[in-house]
Amino acid sequence: MRLAFILGEIASGLRRNLSMVVSVVLVTFISLTFVGAAGMLQLQINQMKGFWYDKVQVAVFLCVDTSTTASCASGPVTDEQRGEIESTLKSPAVAQYVANYQFESQADALAHFKEQFANSPIVDSVTADQLPESFRVSLVDPQKYEVINEVFSSLPGVEVVVDQREVLERVFSVMNIASLVAVGIAAVMIICAILLIATTIRLSAFSRRRETGIMRLVGASKAVIQLPFILEGVIAAVIGAVLASLVLWTVARFFIGGWLADQYPDTAFISDTSVLLIAPALLLLGALLAGVSSLLTLRRYLKV
C-alpha cells in the first residue's frame, strides 16, 4: 500500500510539473553528454598513445647541400660518415636500445613526401636532393630517446635527431585541451541542472503543501513524505543520463567506428563498447546529482 502511494505521488508530481521535468531531462542530458564526451576523448587519447607509441621512431637526419646547421658546416654527409653512423647503430652500447632500423635514401624520402602531400600544390616543386637521407630507428623503449639523441647528435654528418613522439605529444595536448573544454562546459551545465532540479522540487513541494500537511497529521514518516519528491528528480536525471549514453553510443558506433575508421584505417579508434564503461558512471552521476540536490532542497523548504 505504501509503495503504491509513493508511486502515485511520483506520477502526480511528474504530471503537475511536466515542463520543468522536461527541462531537467534536457539540461541533464546536455551536461552528461559533455561529461561522457570528455571521458570518450580521454579513452581515445589513451588508445592512440598505446597504438602509436609502439610505432614511433627516432629519425636521424643526415646533412645535405642545403643544410644550415653548424654540424653540417663541412658539407653533405660522406660515405665514410654514413658508414660510421650505421656502425654506431650496430655497436653493443647502442644496439641494446634499438629494436630495428632502416635507411631512407633521398629517393625514398621523395617518394614518401609525394605520398604524404599528394594534394599539396608544392609536391611537384620538391626534388630528391632537397630532402635529407635518414636512419629511422625503432627503440625497444621509446622513453630512451635521449640516449640516441646524445650519441648521434654529435656525430659528423648528422644534421638533427628528431623524436616523432614530440609531434604526437602536440597532437595529444590539443586533444587534452579539447577534453578540458568539454569538462568545463559540462561543469557549467551540471550547475544549471542542479539549480533546475532544486527549483523543480521546490515548486513541487509548494504545490503539494496541503497533501504533505495531511500526511504529517496522520503520522506519515519523514522518509515517506520526502521520497516521492526525491525520486521525481532522480527519475528525470536518469532519463537524461540514458539519453546521453544513447547519443554517445551512436557517435561511437556510426561516426567513430564507422566513418572515421573507414577514412583512417591505420588509426586505432575506440569501439562502441567503450561507452559501456562510461554509461554506468553517467547514470550514477545523474542519480547522485538529483538525489543530493533534491534532499538539500527538501530540508530547507519542506518542514516535516
Residues 208-261 have pLDDT tens digits of 666 666 666 666 566 666 777 788 888 889 999 999 999 999 999 999 888 887
State which of 129, 163, 197 marks the end of a domain: 163
Residue 103 has pLDDT above 90, yes or no: yes
Mean of pLDDT values over 110-119: 77
pLDDT at 11: 66
Percent share of the chain, pLDDT over 70: 82
Do 43 and 85 have their domain in common? no
pLDDT at 270: 85
pLDDT at 84: 93
Residue 38 has pLDDT above 70, yes or no: yes
Do 154 and 202 have their domain in common? no
Nearest-CA neighbor of 16 among 224, 196, 205?
A: 205
Q: How confident is the model at residue 1 (pLDDT cuts 50, 70, 90)?
A: very low
63 vs 175: which has the higher pLDDT: 63
State which of 140, 163, 186 marks the end of a domain: 163
The answer to whether 21 and 200 are in contact (CB under 8 A) is: yes
Residue 206 has pLDDT above 50, yes or no: yes
Do 62 and 154 have their domain in common? yes
Do 42 and 69 have their domain in common? no
Do 138 and 195 have their domain in common? no
Do 26 and 135 have their domain in common? no
| CATH value at residue 62 | 3.30.70.3040
Average pLDDT, the chain: 82
Which residues neighbour 67 within 8 Å (Cβ) at sequence distance 6 or greater? 76, 132, 159
Residue 112 has pLDDT above 80, yes or no: yes
State which of 111, 146, 163 marks the end of a domain: 163
Domain containing 284 equals 2-52+169-301
Q: How many domains does the chain have?
A: 2
Do 70 and 214 have their domain in common? no
pLDDT digit string, tens, across residues 121-178: 677 788 888 889 999 998 888 778 888 889 998 899 999 998 877 777 777 788 788 8
pLDDT at 118: 65
Do 198 and 293 have their domain in common? yes
The model's pTM: 0.67
Do 31 and 180 have their domain in common? yes
